[in-house]
Amino acid sequence: MDPAVIDQIHLNFNQKSLLGINAAIALMMLGVSLDLKLEDFKRILVSPKAPAIGLLAQFILLPAFTFGLTMILPKSMLIPSMAMGMILVASCPGGNLSNIITYLAKGNCAVSISMTAISSCAAIFMTPLNLAIWGSLNPHTAPILQEVHLSPSDVFVTIFVILGIPMAIGITLSKVFPNLANKVRKPFKIFSLCVFMLIVLGALLANWQNFINVVGLVALVVFLHNALALTLGYTSGHLAKLPVRDKRAVSIEVGIQNSALGLLLVFNFFGGLGGMAIVVAWWGIWHIIAGLVVSQVFARQKLPPEEEDADTCTV
């Protein structure tokens, strides 16, 4: 199939589904934030190196390297809307599963949780900024931004409502009502995740034939992009001489992006543009598979003696 055909596909995704995904992401963020404490933010002040390196890789290096990847991949396999989808994913914060994947990988969960907390806050500013900068610098994706008249301030408001407010509520509840937060934390996270999966599953089933027809066109692109993100995170940690557990955490945080937020932005601001939507949707599936595989590879690798008995923390 010609890649250009992707943008001719009309995805069945109505306003009710979009509102449902808005609510589901807000619920998931609230569930995640119940795990966060002010100490998670203070930890960065006490031991800032690993989270700082990770955030640099996530919000500066990954968007820049993604821009480079969109410029060098042949146009026969990467149409402008797919390239825009890659830039959008690279502009998003870490995904909600990164803490669990880090735990399975025997990485430093404290670093992972700290990065999740800070990246979710930073995304309110950095996601619209990176999307506007790198999307406009690529001559093939710039017309897409111009066509939709994307306003970074509008993206800022959307992300603030979806991520910022639920995070503030969750951290406040955890601080003011710790016993209640401890009781509802696990069931709430499970509930919100199930609601989100049901909504995504419904949207996937409504577009099943479209998905089957075009997934092969984006599979290689998403594989390369995700491999770049994981490698970039680990290499950044390695160059900064971080401990092995920290390098694992940074790699996973950079490699597991919040594709649910990306999908929301695709439909809110880009009218469900086919190439963008398929790239972001497939990334959401693929990064879970890749994350689980990478976690098992990491877990089977022997740690240095000084890190063998280090506390991995729980999630």
pLDDT band, very low/low/confident/very high, at 183 (cuts 50, 70, 90) = confident
Pairwise CA distance, residues 124 & 259, whole Å? 15
Q: Given a cut of 90, is residue 209 above it in pLDDT?
A: no
Q: In this structure, is residue 315 part of a structural domain?
A: no
Q: Given a cut of 80, is residue 70 above it in pLDDT?
A: yes
**Average pLDDT, stretch 54-66?**
94
Q: Mean pLDDT across the chain, nearest whole number?
A: 81
Provide the pLDDT for residue 72: 93
- Number of CB atoms found within 10 A of residue 185's CB: 17
Buried-exposed string 84-99: b where 16+ CB fall within 10 A, e elsewhere: bbbbbbbbbbbbbbbb
Q: How many domains does the chain have?
A: 1
Q: At a CB cut-off of 8 Å and minimum separation 6, what does 3 contact?
A: 76, 77, 78, 79, 82, 217, 275
- What tokens does 153 get? 């301030």
Instruction: Please give the backbone phi and psi of residue 297, each rounded to the nearest 5 degrees, phi first.
Output: -65, -45
- What tokens does 284 get? 């959401």
Q: In this structure, is residue 314 part of a structural domain?
A: no
**Average pLDDT, stretch 232-256?**
93
**Average pLDDT, stretch 202-231?**
81
Provide the pLDDT for residue 39: 66
**Average pLDDT, stretch 66-81?**
89
CATH number of the domain that 90 lies in?
Answer: 1.20.1530.20
Q: Using the structure block, give the residue that is written with the tokens 């002040």.
A: 45
Domain span at residue 209?
3-308
Q: What percent of the chain has pLDDT over 90?
A: 24
Q: In this structure, is residue 79 part of a structural domain?
A: yes
